[in-house]
Amino acid sequence: MLLFVTLEFTYTLLGTEHMPEKGVNSTFKKIVYESSEMVFLADDTYPYTIFYGNELFEKEIGDKLEQRNLVGLGLDVNSYIFKEELVLEVKENEYSFSLELPHENESNYFLFYHGKPLEANETPTKAEAIEYVRSNPDAIIIGEFDFITFLNATALNKIGFKYEELVNTSPINLIHPEDQKSFNKVWKKAKEAQSTEEATARFQTKENSFVSLDLKISFSGERFFITTFTKQAVHIINPADAVQNRLIQSSADLAEVGKWEYDSEANSFQLDEIARQMLELPKVVKLDKKKIDKPIRSAFKSLVKGFTKNDQGETYLELIAPKKFKVAWEHYMVDLNQKKIAGIVWNDTTIQEAKSELDFFQTLFMDSLEAMILLTESGLVRLINSEAKKLFDFDESNSPKFLEDFSPFVLDDEPVKSWIENPTIEGVEILTSIKNHQGDALNLAIKSKRIASNRETCIVVSFRNVTEKISLERSLEDSTEFLMNLTDQVPGGLYQMVLSAEGEIRFAFLSKGIRSVLGISSEEAQSLKDIGTAMSNVHPQDLPNVIMTSVASARKLEPWLCQFRVKIGDSGEYRWVLGAARPQTLDTGDMVWYGYLTDISQQKEFEEKLDEAKKAAEKANQIKSDFLSMISHELRTPLNAISGSVYSLLQESPTDYQKNALNTINFAVDNLIIMINDLLDFQKIEAGKLHMENASFNLSELLNQIIKGLTFHARDSKNKLQLDLDPRLDLLVKGDKTRMSQVLNNLITNALKFTDRGIVAVKVNLLSKSDQKVRVYFEVLDNGIGIAKEDQSKIFDDFDQVKPTFNKKYGGTGLGLSITKKLLSIMGSEIHLESEVGVGSKFYFEIDMTLANEEEGPRTILPLKPVLPEKLHLLMAEDNEVNALVLGKIISKWGHTYDRVVNGLEAVAAMDDPTKYNCVLMDIQMPEMNGFDATKAIKAKFEIPVIALTAAAKLEIMEQIQECGFDGFVAKPIDAAELHDVIKEVVGKYHSRS
């Protein structure tokens, strides 16, 4: 800075009478005068007259001036207060000057010095710049600190004030109070950063209204420049609009909104079209009173209910009929003193409806069956529905506020943020496991979706509890694994064979086990899938069976089971396998067999051995049986002799002593015979060779016969034998009469045996009768020694006696009851026992019998009473001398005669005159020709009764006896009375026929 005040000038050149008054000394003048640059001085008072200029100045500028003052130069001195340099424009030429301002007590003039013409360059000339600023269509306001120093014409036009009214005032005064805060912020920023910033603010106009302007504020040092620019076309906003729009924005945007404005001067309401229609009022409503609330009331007279204030402090006017409207309003500033009212009105019913619809959708969300939460994009939880609460076990106290609040529940490393990371990818689920508040570990499948409305964008996250599904999947995996394991580990192999609807057969599945069963590699197993290859491995001998059984299985849809041999690898050897499968028809028409193959070679080997053993056992059994039958025959022959002899001796009037001894012998022999018969029967049953007859017989007749047969025995044992027979049982039934008698005989004999001077009661009742069948109850009751509880089950066992073996007193083998039980079981019945020691025993059973037709009835019961000749002549075929002797004696005793032959051949030969004999008594076992063959031969030629006499157990030879045509049968040793009966019967039959 040039400090002229400190300079000592020597005045040499110039001097006028004015100068000393101005405080300019001559030295200074001289310097000025001689300066090679332009210098001039001007008064410090209006109009700032240029009172001195040097030669250069006068030449360049002074001479051209019309007014020799600063105003004439177009200089506004005040605007240069802080400037030391300035540009002067004179007649389109620019000159730069330095300026020294007047100083108090020192100088009272402005000193312009260093004046020189400005070189022209690319920048506009000052004149150009000034012109540009002045006539700019944008408003330009310039100032320093915060005082306006310049406004261009556009600026003044826009706000309507005069230059003088605004210069040296702060621009902030012009800004609408509501915009001041934001304006200040921008202002400060531009100042601090020495930059250009943008702002929009409402400027007050001279007319007390506001004009909204888009502004650029720039700072250069302390100097500011405010320019309007046309971001948008500069527009004047109706302040009422602004209020109304703000109200609309802050109120529910769900309904149609009408606008209204209150004009206090006109004292009227202006309604827009929507408001007018909504409220059914004229466009302009004139009011009576000036107060604000009152006019509103009167404007909406018929509609007003009252005023309410909402949470935001906004006042609502609630209207009544015909609909419920709400009104919101706000005062706004017209100018700094005066306020107006603008507001909106909307149909609250519509909002209520919308709200209830909103409520409905919210409820829908909250009560949705799927667990869901609604988040803002920043992760704020907006809603959490009840299922989600349940899932995480949230309640009011621990409800999550942010997505992050879910983090503590997550068990795996998946961050919760990932839940909403890909919200737009449809169907993508994130699987995560969580532990909820209750500590339950759950597997969740999470999906999210971004939902954008015109209000905001949200993310909905849904959770699906897949714990059960996952555990099911796991258990399915486990069980599949288990099944695969099972399939692989079971001995043998499993397969699935498919017969397609087209007739093609293949193995769809072969388990590993198949390889070891067939002794093949996995490659070979693969080739086996082809049925042809598989079949070629089957033994040629077994192939037909395999094919036939398979075809049958397919036809009848029945399980397939087949044993066959298959080739083992390349060894050429075969192995026995068992194949089994179950067929199933599929919906496709295909047929599927699920089956297995198992190696049975060991079993086969075992079976073979078993078969051999069985044959051996059968052979041994046969030998045993043969031996038994031989030995019993051998035993019976001498017994027969003894029995016969005793019988003869008893006829010879023995002494009492002899009679006693003879009876003892008889008893012993009888016992021995029973024993032998029992043994033989037992052996038969055991060997399964028992043949049951199915002939007709009369039930009551049979029972009477049995009782009659035992009468002697009863008398002998000093017991009373009673028969209580149901009269309805005089029936013909089919069955084995002999076996039936054997059962009853056994039971009655036992009862007589184990009862001393008591009663043995036999009871037979008809239980039921149908067309075909009868059910009969049999009971043998005694009051003998009884059987202890512990022995009751044992006595039916083989060889079991309560008192062991060959009980001296009672005799027996212990086989009787065992045989009885077995026989009854063959007949489909079961024996029962009730007994008490010292009281007696009751054996009973029920049996079903088939009824026989009358025609089928046995000839024995033909009502014909045979009339027999007094004397019979018999042919006796008997090889054994003793037997022949005994039998001969018996025959003679009856007063009959006989001829004896010693073998079958002789017997046949003796038939040369068949009329000679009334009957043939035929022994079975004889040399030359046995009794069977001889009888056949006789029967082939002649009609003569033949009675078989045999020591062999009846069972064995029964069939043969029937085959050969014997008419009767008497077991050895011969019971004379029985033989007599049989002879009478058969001869009588023939006699009656002839």
Report the interface residues with ligand ADP, using CB under 6 A: 750-751, 754, 782, 784-787, 795, 800-803, 812-818, 841
Q: Name the closest residue to ligand ADP (Cβ).
A: 812
Q: How many CA atoms lie within 13 A of 965 on its CB side?
A: 14
Name the minimum Å distance from CB 919 to ligand ADP.
Answer: 35
Residue 462 or residue 818: which is nearer to ligand ADP going by CB? 818
Residue 641 or residue 824: which is nearer to ligand ADP going by CB? 824
Residue 325 or residue 754: which is nearer to ligand ADP going by CB? 754
Name the minimum Å distance from CB 754 to ligand ADP.
Answer: 3
Name the minimum Å distance from CB 810 to ligand ADP.
Answer: 6
Name the minimum Å distance from CB 786 to ligand ADP.
Answer: 6
SS (H, E, C) 76-129: CHHHHCCCCEEEEEECCEEEEEEEECCCCCCCCEEEEEEEEECCCCCCCCHHHH
Residue 817 or residue 986: which is nearer to ligand ADP going by CB? 817
Token readout for 347 is 């149909």
Other residues' Cβ atoms within 10 Å of the Cβ of residue 928:
13
Residue 50 or residue 748: which is nearer to ligand ADP going by CB? 748
Residue 385 or residue 813: which is nearer to ligand ADP going by CB? 813
Name the minimum Å distance from CB 751 to ligand ADP.
Answer: 4
Name the minimum Å distance from CB 953 to ligand ADP.
Answer: 17
How many separate helices (H) and strands (E) can be counted in the chain? 27, 39
Name the minimum Å distance from CB 685 to ligand ADP.
Answer: 14
Radius of gyration of the chain (CA): 72
Residue 267 or residue 671: which is nearer to ligand ADP going by CB? 671
Residue 271 or residue 628: which is nearer to ligand ADP going by CB? 628
Residue 61 or residue 743: which is nearer to ligand ADP going by CB? 743
> Could you tell me where the beta strands, DSSP code E, fall in 145-250?
147-151, 196-204, 210-220, 223-228
Phi and psi at residue 384, to the nearest 5°: -135, 120
Name the minimum Å distance from CB 799 to ligand ADP.
Answer: 8
Other residues' Cβ atoms within 10 Å of the Cβ of residue 909:
12
Residue 754 or residue 966: which is nearer to ligand ADP going by CB? 754
Exposed / middle / buried, residue 741 (Cβ in 10 Å: 0-12, 13-18, 19+): middle
Residue 351 or residue 628: which is nearer to ligand ADP going by CB? 628
Name the minimum Å distance from CB 836 to ligand ADP.
Answer: 11
Token readout for 797 is 């066992």
Name the minimum Å distance from CB 781 to ligand ADP.
Answer: 9
Name the minimum Å distance from CB 843 to ligand ADP.
Answer: 7
Name the minimum Å distance from CB 713 to ligand ADP.
Answer: 14
Token readout for 247 is 């109200």
The amino acid at residue 356 is: S
Token readout for 127 is 């004149």
Pairing of strands 873-877, 897-901: parallel
- Give the C-alpha separation, 497 to 580, whole Å: 12
- Give the C-alpha separation, 994 to 992, whole Å: 6
Chain centroid, CA 229 distance in Å: 72
Residue 91 or residue 809: which is nearer to ligand ADP going by CB? 809
CA distances from 684 to 149, 615, 971 (A): 149, 18, 17
Residue 725 or residue 795: which is nearer to ligand ADP going by CB? 795
Sheet holding 140-144, edge to edge: 147-151, 140-144, 223-228, 210-220, 196-204
Residue 791 or residue 848: which is nearer to ligand ADP going by CB? 791
Spell out a b/e string for 497-527, using b for 16 or more CB atoms within 10 Å of the CB, else e. Answer: bbbeeeeebebeebbebbbebbbbeeeebee
Chain centroid, CA 619 distance in Å: 63
Name the minimum Å distance from CB 840 to ligand ADP.
Answer: 7
Name the minimum Å distance from CB 832 to ligand ADP.
Answer: 13
Residue 239 or residue 786: which is nearer to ligand ADP going by CB? 786
Euclidean distance between the first and the last CA atom of the chain, given in angstroms as a whole number? 188
Token readout for 965 is 């045509």
Location of structure tokens 């003052």: 69
DSSP 8-state code for residue 397: G
- Give the C-alpha separation, 530 to 507, whole Å: 7
SS (H, E, C) 773-798: EEEEEEEEEECCCCCCHHHHCHHHCC
**Is residue 464 classed as helix, strand or coil in its secondary structure?**
strand
Name the minimum Å distance from CB 690 to ligand ADP.
Answer: 17
CA distances from 885 to 152, 673, 806, 874, 929 (A): 180, 20, 32, 14, 21
Token readout for 53 is 């200029």
Name the minimum Å distance from CB 955 to ligand ADP.
Answer: 18
Name the minimum Å distance from CB 830 to ligand ADP.
Answer: 16
The amino acid at residue 312 is: Q
Residue 455 or residue 808: which is nearer to ligand ADP going by CB? 808
Listed residue (829, 819, 824, 796) closest to 686, CA to CA = 819
Residue 813 or residue 950: which is nearer to ligand ADP going by CB? 813
Query: Under 8 Å CB-to-CB from 626, ≥6 apart: which residues?
Result: none
Location of structure tokens 């601090």: 192
- Give the C-alpha separation, 4 to 23, whole Å: 13
Residue 696 or residue 742: which is nearer to ligand ADP going by CB? 742
Listed residue (254, 259, 264) closest to 275, CA to CA = 259
Name the minimum Å distance from CB 665 to ligand ADP.
Answer: 20
Tell me which H or E stretch contains 59: helix 55-60
Say if residues 301 and 309 touch (Cβ distance below 8 Å): no
